[in-house]
């Protein structure tokens, strides 16, 4: 017993636990950068300061200020970086969308297609406001993240419904990932990713011992018992079904990847990762052999320029050209030709605009910002004291990381392109709103994790002795 | 707009973006260097290579801690708790206003590997005036301050030995 207990260390944070003033300073910084970018893009596009600059800056500042005040009141010990980085990403996204709104090519394209061209930036600002409203709502209403644990199986049902519903709606742009209600449409997958992380953490917290300990060792890998393989098979089957019926590789990859990451974190068994990679590879290859939509995506990934030459979609080819012409420092905001991508230039392909106009340096900076959000999430998981909070924080940050990887990889030609959005930056209401909710839950978990332990209440005994003391 | 202005703005924007990233990383730094590492290892003489990094760690930590607690600490107040006898000899714990629990339980601040210690043996905490108090938590074999067995929470004089089983701890400046 002694050998196992003697060489341990306790690591706890010293110094002021509440970092709200740091957060405020970073927030001011995070609002100034997009305003600067806005001025830069306006000067480059039309030789004058954009007219909406003041209102835009004030709008973003107001959203950030409201967020900050609510965090100060309801999550005083929360991580100081999550809110500023989310604000900065959202602000940069608004600038990039506004910049693409000014493009004459995109307006001409819309006119040729017989649609009225409507700028997306004002809508996106409204969605951002809704996102911050949800952020505020989660912080105020969710007193403790452990409450979510009670809804483990309810959240499973809700997530399944959200994932299955889009199958009954008509496909848009080749994928069934939207629910359309009149002129209004939402992408339920974005919300499902948060809800399913709640389910996985609640489920794995209860079952992880069975999954981790009851296993046989074979060739250096722990093989789980057959009946413990059940859940991973079910989730795998689900993601294959999504792939087949919704023809959406991104959502499918996101859910399966999320599950494998959480299984690994919960059980510390490398074999889950090996199994997960094998199963996802087998599933993806299997589906790609008979599903024409997935096949065309794979073709466009392997030979983007051939496909463009033969009259197929030239989006990926244009995106690659955009990255190439950006070089190291980029062409400057508003001076690139990334609007040649045409369709989805301001949503799925917005990273190509970053790549062209901000160059390698800007793209790396942006990816680092995403990395920092994920790092703060993982750090929150390390600091969290309850297993549910740990798993939830890991799950949410893993979902975020996988989503960034899937989109960025798709746009850069690393993996086949899928219809997912770059969190916070890409145009799209569901995405922005869901990601603000995700950040709110992370902030809530980190508040609980970083809160200092309560000071011991003086017992009645102690009070009495103080009377006796001379 | 002139080409020069736009170039300056373009590079300026990238610089500001990266500055934000660097400042954010500086904020994170506090997670790495603002932490308090409490060594609970036994001071084993046989393994000279292991304690080396630990000592460095402990030496590098105090300046930071003092910086942060500067002004708060009273003159003459103890700053650390030192184990002077027993298997944990040499272990120090910085006193920063937190409660220190002693016992065989694994979640204690100082885990005692001692047959004469109870799982939750005693705790040491500051009262409202910053005076450090030791309290016996109903242990089987008792906690001794100097030679007297504790029955009530008692203020700890600087340097007075507190004995729990074979372990002796004291507060030092």
Split chain A (470 residues) into runs of 10 and give each run's mean pLDDT: 46 62 91 91 84 84 94 90 94 91 80 75 89 94 88 87 80 70 76 90 84 68 67 75 75 86 86 83 83 81 84 83 90 83 80 92 94 94 89 95 92 85 88 94 91 64 50
Domain presence at residue B165: yes
pLDDT of residue B60 exceeding 80, the answer is no
Judge: B24–A458 Cβ closer than 8 Å, yes or no: no
Query: Who among B28, B40, B96 is closest to A81 (CB)?
Result: B28
Q: Select from B20, B25, B38 the Cβ nearest to the Cβ of A29.
A: B20
| Residue-range definition of the domain harbouring residue B121 | 80-172
- Tell which residue, A428, A369, A446, has the closest CA to residue A191: A428
Q: Residue B41 above 70 pLDDT? A: no
For residue A402, the model assigns a pLDDT of 93
pLDDT of residue A314: 80
Question: B interface mutation test: which of A6, A48, A327, A462 has the most B CBs within 10 A?
Answer: A6
CB-based contact (8 Å) between A196 and chain B?
A: no
DSSP chain B: --HHHHHHHHHHHHHHHHHHHHHHHHHHHHHHHSEEEEE-----TT-STTHHHHHHHHHHHHHHHHHHHTTTSPTT---EEEEEESTTTT-EEE-SS--EEEESSTTSSEE---TTS-SS-EEEEE-TTS-EEEEE-S-SS--EETTEEPSS-EEPPTT--EEETTEEEEEE-
Identify all chain B residues contacting A89, using CB atoms and an 8 Å cutoff. none
Q: In the numeric block, which tokens belong to residue A455? A: 């000071």
B14 contacts A362? CB cut-off 8 A:
yes
Question: Do residues A246 and A291 lie in contact, with contact meaning Cβ atoms separated by under 8 Å?
Answer: no
B27·A22 Cβ contact <8 A:
yes
Give A20-57 as a DSSP string: HHHHHHHHHHHHHHHHHHHHHHHHHHHSS--TTHHHHH
* ipTM of the modeled complex: 0.85
Total domain count for chain B? Answer: 1
Check residue A225 and give its pLDDT. 67
**Contact at CB, B20 and A12, closer than 8 angstroms:** no
Buried b (16+ CB within 10 A) or exposed e, A398-421: bbbbbbbbbbbbbbbbebbbbbbb
Tell if the CB–CB gap between A8 and B40 is shorter than 8 Å.
yes
Q: Is the pLDDT of residue B59 over 70?
A: no
Closest Cα to residue A430, out of A66, A168, A339, A438?
A438
Percent of chain B's residues with pLDDT above 90: 9
Check CB contact of A333 with chain B, cutoff 8 Å.
yes
- Domain containing residue B148: CATH number: 2.60.200.20
Identify the closest residue of chain A to B114 by CA–CA distance: A2
Put simply, the answer to whether B18 touches A365 (Cβ < 8 Å) is: yes
Burial class for B164, CB neighbours closer than 10 Å (0-12, 13-18, 19+): buried
B87-112 pLDDT, tens digit per residue, is 888 788 888 878 888 888 888 888 88
**Chain A residues 397-456 within an 8 A CB cutoff of chain B:** 453, 455-456
pLDDT for B139 beyond 50? yes
Determine the pLDDT at residue A279.
83
Alpha helices in A335-386 (DSSP H): 350-357, 359-383
What's the average model confidence in pLDDT over B156-167? 87
Specify if B122 maps to a domain. Answer: yes
* Structure confidence at residue A103 (pLDDT): 81
For residue B70, the tally of other CB atoms under 10 A from its CB is 8
DSSP annotation of A253: H
Identify the band that residue B72 occupies on the pLDDT scale cut at 50, 70 and 90.
very low
Instruction: Examine residue B114 and state whether it is found in any structural domain, yes or no.
Output: yes
Per-residue pLDDT band for B40 (boundaries 50, 70, 90) equals low
The answer to whether the Cβ–Cβ distance between B40 and A335 falls below 8 Å is: no
- In the block, which residue shows the tokens 């392109």? A417
Q: What does the pLDDT read at residue B67?
A: 40
Say if B144 falls within a structural domain: yes
Residue B143 has pLDDT above 70, yes or no: yes
pLDDT in tens, A91-130: 999 999 998 888 877 777 777 777 777 788 888 889 999 9
Instruction: Name the closest residue on chain A to residue B113, using Cα atoms.
Output: A2
| Domain annotation covers residue B23 | no
Task: Examine residue B103 and state whether it is found in any structural domain, yes or no.
Answer: yes
- Which of B65, B98, B113 is opposite residue A5, by nearest beta carbon? B113
Residue B74 lies in a domain: no
* pLDDT, averaged across chain B: 76
Judging by DSSP bridges, how do beta strands B122-126 and B100-103 pair with one another? antiparallel
């Amino acid at each position: 017993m002694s050998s196992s207990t003697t060489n341990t260390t306790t690591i706890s944070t010293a110094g002021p636990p509440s970092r709200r003033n740091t957060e405020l300073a970073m927030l001011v910084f995070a609002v100034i950068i997009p305003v600067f970018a806005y001025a830069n893009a306006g000067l480059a596009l039309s030789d004058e300061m954009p007219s909406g600059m003041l209102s835009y800056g004030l709008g973003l500042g107001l959203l950030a200020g409201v967020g900050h005040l609510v965090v100060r009141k309801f999550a005083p010990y929360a991580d100081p970086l999550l809110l500023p980085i989310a604000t900065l990403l959202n602000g940069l996204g608004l600038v990039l969308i506004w910049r693409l709104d000014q493009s004459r090519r995109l307006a001409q394209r819309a006119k040729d297609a017989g649609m009225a061209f409507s700028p997306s930036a004002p809508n996106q600002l409204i969605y951002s406001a809704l996102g911050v409203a949800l952020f505020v709502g989660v912080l105020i209403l969710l007193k403790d993240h452990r409450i979510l644990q009670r809804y483990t199986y309810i959240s499973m049902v809700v997530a399944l419904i959200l994932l299955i519903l889009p199958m009954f709606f008509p496909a848009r742009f080749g994928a069934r990932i939207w629910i359309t209600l009149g002129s209004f449409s939402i992408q339920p997958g974005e919300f499902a990713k948060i809800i399913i992380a709640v389910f996985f953490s609640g489920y794995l917290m209860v079952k992880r011992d069975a999954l981790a300990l009851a296993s046989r060792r074979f060739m250096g890998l722990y093989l789980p018992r057959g009946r413990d393989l059940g859940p991973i098979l079910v989730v795998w089957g689900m993601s294959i079904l999504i792939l087949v019926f919704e023809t959406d590789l991104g959502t499918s990859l996101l859910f399966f990847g999320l599950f494998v990451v959480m299984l690994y974190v919960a059980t510390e068994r490398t074999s889950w990762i090996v199994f997960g990679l094998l199963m996802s590879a087998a599933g993806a290859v299997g589906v790609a052999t008979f599903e024409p939509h997935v096949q065309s995506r794979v073709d466009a990934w392997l030979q983007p320029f051939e496909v463009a030459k033969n009259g197929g979609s030239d989006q990926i080819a244009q995106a690659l050209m955009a990255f190439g012409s950006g070089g190291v420092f980029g062409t400057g905001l508003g001076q690139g030709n990334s609007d040649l991508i045409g369709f989805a230039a301001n949503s799925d392909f917005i990273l190509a605009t970053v790549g062209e106009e901000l160059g390698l340096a800007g793209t790396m900076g942006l990816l680092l910002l995403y990395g920092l959000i994920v790092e703060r999430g993982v750090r929150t998981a390390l600091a969290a004291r309850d297993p549910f909070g740990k798993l939830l924080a890991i799950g949410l940050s893993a979902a975020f990381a996988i989503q960034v990887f899937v989109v960025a990889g798709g746009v850069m030609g690393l993996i086949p392109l899928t219809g997912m959005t770059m969190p916070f930056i890409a145009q799209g209401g569901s995405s922005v709103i869901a990601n603000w909710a995700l950040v709110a839950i992370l902030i809530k978990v980190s508040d609980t994790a970083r809160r200092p332990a309560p000071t011991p209440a003086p017992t009645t005994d102690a009070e009495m002795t103080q009377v006796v003391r001379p | 707009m002139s080409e020069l202005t736009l170039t300056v703005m373009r590079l300026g924007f990238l610089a500001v973006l990266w500055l934000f990233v660097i400042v954010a990383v500086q904020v994170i730094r506090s997670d790495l260097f603002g932490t308090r590492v409490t060594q609970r290892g036994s001071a084993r003489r046989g393994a000279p290579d292991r304690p080396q990094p630990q000592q460095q760690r402990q030496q590098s930590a105090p300046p930071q801690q003092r910086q942060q607690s500067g002004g708060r600490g009273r003159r003459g107040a103890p700053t650390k708790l030192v184990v002077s006898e027993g298997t944990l000899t040499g272990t120090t714990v910085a006193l920063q206003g937190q409660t220190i629990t002693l016992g065989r339980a694994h979640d204690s601040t100082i885990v005692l590997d001692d047959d004469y210690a109870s799982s939750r043996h005693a705790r040491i905490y500051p009262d409202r005036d910053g005076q450090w108090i030791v309290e016996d938590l109903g242990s089987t074999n008792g906690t001794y301050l100097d030679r007297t067995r504790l029955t009530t929470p008692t203020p700890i004089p600087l340097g007075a030995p507190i004995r729990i089983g074979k372990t002796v701890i004291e507060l030092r400046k």
